[in-house]
A and B are shown apart, each in its own frame.
Chain A
Amino acid sequence: MLKALAGGLFLGLAPGRKPAIKVATLAALIGLWFLLTTVTGAVTGGRFPSPAEFWTSLVQINTRGYAGAGLVSHALHSVKLVAMGFLVAIATGVPLGLWMGWSRKVEALVNPVFLIIRPIPPLAWIPLAILWLGLGDAAKIMVIWFSAFVPSVINAFTGVRNIDRPVIEAARMLGTPRWRLISEVIAPAASPMIFTGLRLSLQASWTTLVAAELVGALVGVGFVLNMAQQDIYPGMILVGMLTVGLLGWGTTVLLGMAERRALAWNIAARD
């Protein structure tokens, strides 16, 4: 790890290497952090933790645990909720968006409801969700579902509406039956937009999860953040924040890999 970092720093001196620049930026940021907290003391530990305090917090949550569990358990629980909420959202949102894109009737039917519900921030659903389903996982999955649902629907819908008319006409001319038209023509043609929606949905899922766990939870990264705030423990707050960032980044990378696989034809066609 250190060796890789050093290698990265070294490469940072070589011009025109983008990954190297990224590593150099990161290193500079850490350096600045060290400078402001530990070396000069310009920022006190009560406002923002020093690298050493951060490290102590990280060790503590991994060995003795914090907020009732170790970091891995908190993280896994959060990932599980995000995954479930996200999957439920795309399993319902993408088909609905495709259907609305395909049928003006369905669009006319669903759109009014959508126009009322859409401006409500997903977080505004949290009180109702807790009232209905309590402080457990179900309420959080529901809120994530609501927040991730909207981008999935809108982008799948737009994806269908943007399909070149001749492509659909070609499929109809070839006598393609309805279900095959949807699975082999409409869905793949809309898939670049669908994936844009999935990325936005995933982002919304993490935002909502942390907010939901902040309000009421017994385990999870958001709960760690909430406890650390009550304990006035900046080191642990930073651990929670970076964990969320890392998990969000990791799931986005996974989605990106799935996208590159599914859209190989499109990525190659764009280049």
Chain B
Amino acid sequence: MGSISFSHVDKIFGPQGSGVKALDNINLDIADREFVAIVGPSGCGKTTCLRMVAGFEAASAGEVKVNGKTVTAPGPDRAVVFQQFALFPWKTVRENIDLGLRNKNLPLAERDGLISSALKLMSLESHADAFPHQLSGGMQQRVAIARAYVLDPEVLLMDEPFGALDAQTRVVMQEELVRLARRNPRTVLFITHAVEEAVYLADRVAIMTRRPGRIKEVLDIRSIREAEGWDRHPKIEDVMDLESFVHLRTHIWKTLREEKDFQHV
């Protein structure tokens, strides 16, 4: 079980009264094992939405709930994958993945088994004893994803996880994430400003306005994906060539373009 709900959520940064309104009346329900991506111009507050689910920020008004319970603090039931990886540079790959398991007080043998399968899942077996700085950006993000997945979280929160990667690595990671999501479905909240990434990965895409951020439109991608048989194509570039994909992408772009000052094209 891992549902997420935003109801009438406002977020104001700075002092009450004179602060900056970042989010305005956000309403969004994400079902268990649904993959929802939020796209929007930079500074629209999409990352703030994720940070509230993670428990790093509190809502100024309204409620953010996970499984019907109001979020009050961060916890391993809501694993986060950060844009800048946020690995512990003084710990090896294995130790990075192990920390969350140790915090759960699992016995050593069980931890070893879980770490091994997480390493295997992310093709990191040969790097278990490397330090993060010895790995490429793509590899480091694999470690971060393994660190999150190994906890078997109800909710996976991904904050522009591929934003810091080069284009080729990015595509590989996107395909990998789809593979992972199929094998072991999780509720995912995915923040990105890359429209194609959102359409390729998500069941639904929420489009936000510029500040103060509101949800302008929510698109159902899943029904189109299933109707048009996107999953028959193993490669991302083939899916991106399909007319149904292009149509959705263009629609989202146009919607975003209507937002003044939108700079990401």
Which A residues are CB-close (under 8 A) to B80?
169-170, 173
B88 contacts A185, C-beta separation under 8 Å: yes
Partner of B131, one of A174, A175, A268: A268
Chain A interface SS verdict (over half):
helix
**Nearest-CB residue, chain A, relative to B157:** A173
Which A residues are CB-close (under 8 A) to B84?
164, 166
B147 contacts A265, C-beta separation under 8 Å: no
B99 contacts A184, C-beta separation under 8 Å: yes
Given contacts A169-B86, A170-B86, contact A180 B103 (CB under 8 A): yes
Cα-based distance from A166 to B88 in the complex (angstroms): 10
B133 contacts A176, C-beta separation under 8 Å: no
B89 contacts A175, C-beta separation under 8 Å: no
A174 contacts B100, C-beta separation under 8 Å: yes
Which B residues are CB-close (under 8 A) to A177?
103
Partner of A173, one of B76, B88, B90, B133: B76
B104 contacts A175, C-beta separation under 8 Å: yes
Given contacts A166-B84, A172-B74, contact A265 B89 (CB under 8 A): yes
Residues 113-171 of B contacting A (Cβ, < 8 Å): 131-134, 147, 151
Given contacts A174-B147, A175-B75, A175-B104, contact A188 B99 (CB under 8 A): no
What is the number of residues of chain B that contact chain A, defined by CB distance less than 8 Å?
A: 29
Cα-based distance from A6 to B90 in the complex (angstroms): 43
**What is the CB-to-nearest-CB distance from B13 to chain A, in angstroms, rounded to a whole number?**
15
Chain A, interface size category, equals 20 to 34
**What is the CB-to-nearest-CB distance from B109 to chain A, in angstroms, rounded to a whole number?**
20
**Nearest-CB residue, chain A, relative to B83:** A166
A170 contacts B82, C-beta separation under 8 Å: yes
Cα-based distance from A175 to B102 in the complex (angstroms): 9
B54 on interface, CB distance cutoff 8 Å: yes
**What is the CB-to-nearest-CB distance from A59 to chain B, in angstroms, rounded to a whole number?**
50
Cα-based distance from A171 to B80 in the complex (angstroms): 10
**Nearest-CB residue, chain B, relative to A270:** B133
A269 contacts B103, C-beta separation under 8 Å: no
B78 on interface, CB distance cutoff 8 Å: yes
Residues 171-211 of A contacting B (Cβ, < 8 Å): 171-177, 180, 184-185, 188-189, 191
B89 contacts A266, C-beta separation under 8 Å: yes
Give me the interface of A with B, judged by CB distance under 8 Å: 164, 166-167, 169-177, 180, 184-185, 188-189, 191, 265-266, 268-269
Shortest beta-carbon contacts, A-B, top 10: A166-B86, A269-B133, A174-B100, A175-B76, A170-B86, A175-B103, A172-B74, A188-B90, A265-B90, A173-B74
Give me the interface of B with A, judged by CB distance under 8 Å: 54-56, 73-76, 78-80, 82, 84, 86-91, 99-100, 102-104, 131-134, 147, 151
